[in-house]
Structure 1
Amino acid sequence: MTDQKKILMIVAQENFRDEEFFEPKEVFEKNGAKVTVASNTTKKAKGILGGEVKPDLSISDVNIDEYDAISITGGGGSRQYLWDNKELQDIVRKAKDQGKVVAAICISPVVLANAGVLEGKKSTVFKNDETVRILKERGAKHKDKGVISDGKIVTGRDPKSAKEYGKAVLKAIN
C-alpha cells in the first residue's frame, strides 16, 4: 500500500485562474502527490491566460473517499460554474466531515462558505464587496492575508499566493 497523497483539484470549465491551478499542482506533484482534476465536464477547461487542462472526471463522478484533499481553483469562472454547484458543495461537506483537507483560492472560498464549512473559521478570499460579504454572511472570520490555514481548511487570496497556498495544502495533509 502506498502512502502517496491524493489531491482532487477542481477547475471551472472556463476562465479559471491559470496560476492558481498550475502553480499549486506543480507544488503537489513535486512533493509526490497524485493530482486528479475534475470540472463540470471532462471537456478541455480553459484558463483566463490561455492555459488548458483536460479534466480526468466530472464533478458528478467524484468519490471524495478516494482523496486526501480537495483544492478548488479560483478565477472568474468559479462564480459562473462552481459557487452554486450543489454537487460540489456536497463533496466539500463530505470531505470536511471525513477530516480531509478542504482548500480553495481566490474567489473559490465562496464555494466553501456556500457549503457551510467556513462557519467560525479564519479564512481569506480575493477581496471584493461580494466575496467578503458572502463569507461573513456564512459565518467565516475573514482576514485579508495571502494564505490562511485553520485546521484542515486552507484558503488563498490571489495568484500571488498560489505557490504558498500549494505548500499550505500539503502541510495540512501531513
Structure 2
Amino acid sequence: MVKTEYEGKKILLVIAQEQFRDEECFVPKQLFEAAGVEVTVAAESTQSAKGMLGGTIKPDITISEARIDEFDAIVISGGSGSRKYLWDNKALQKLVKEADALKKVVSAICISPVVLARTGVLKGKESTVFKSPDTVRELEEHGAVYLDREVVVSGHVVTGRDPASADAFGKAILELLKKA
C-alpha cells in the first residue's frame, strides 16, 4: 500500500442525530477517506442518523464517548438539526474546547459554527456561518469577526458557510491536516 501524507490521521466527524445536512457530512467524509484519513462519525446515539435530504449513516460512537486525544481534527457538520442536537451539547462543547487548547484542527459548517462561537473558540477570529440574522448574531455576540465567504481559515480553525461550500470546506481541512 502506498503511504500518503495523511497516513495515521484521524478525524472525528460530528453530526446531528436528525436533520444533519447530507452534503456537509458525506462530501467532506468522502474527501477525507479518499485521502487516506480515518473518519469516526459521532452523534448523540449510535442509532442510524437521518439527514435533511434523506441520507442515513450509522454513527460509530456517541459524542460523549469521543476522546479528543485520539483525533487530529474535529469536524462538525451542519443542517437544521444542529440547533437542537449540537448547539448546546455539553459533551461536544468540551471536545471543542479541548481540541482548541491542543491546537488540533477545529472546524464547523453551515449553522454549526455557532457551537464554536459558544465555546469561545471563535473569539477574535475571522469566521463564516450560514447567513441568517440569528447565526450571524451568535457569532458576533461571542466575539467572532463574521465574513460572508464560502470558507474561512483562521489559524487551526476552519468554518464553512453552507452546503455549496462542503467541498471547499473539506479541502481546507485536509490542507491543515498536512501540517498537523
Tell me whether the two structures share a fold, i.e. TM-score over 0.5.
yes
Tell me which of 95, 99, 102 is aligned to 1:98. 102
Q: Contact 2:7/2:36 (CA < 8 Å) preserved in 1? A: no
Identify the residue that residue 36 of structure 2 maps to in structure 1: 32
Tell me which of 108, 132, 136 is aligned to 1:132. 136
SS of residue in 1 equivalent to 2:152: strand
The reply on whether 1:162 has 2:166 as its aligned counterpart is yes
**Residue 99 of structure 1, CA deviation:** 1.1
Question: Which sections of structure 1, spanning at least 5 residues, go unmatched?
Answer: none
**Residue 30 of structure 1, CA deviation:** 0.8
Scaled by the length of structure 1, the TM-score of the pair is 0.98
Identify the residue that residue 6 of structure 1 maps to in structure 2: 10
**Residue 172 of structure 1, CA deviation:** 1.2
Scaled by the length of structure 2, the TM-score of the pair is 0.95
Residues in 2 aligned to 1:5 and 1:35: alpha-carbon distance in whole angstroms:
9
Residues in 1 aligned to 2:109 and 2:168: alpha-carbon distance in whole angstroms:
11
Moved over 6 A (4+): none
Q: Contact 1:19/1:159 (CA < 8 Å) preserved in 2? A: yes
Residues in 2 aligned to 1:33 and 1:129: alpha-carbon distance in whole angstroms:
35
Residues in 1 aligned to 2:135 and 2:23: alpha-carbon distance in whole angstroms:
20
Question: Which sections of structure 2, spanning at least 5 residues, go unmatched?
Answer: 1-5
Identify the residue that residue 90 of structure 2 maps to in structure 1: 86
> Percent identity among equivalent residues?
58
Q: Contact 1:152/1:173 (CA < 8 Å) preserved in 2? A: no
Identify the residue that residue 146 of structure 2 maps to in structure 1: 142
Tell me which of 46, 52, 58 is aligned to 1:48. 52
Q: In structure 2, give the amino acid aligned to 1:59.
A: I
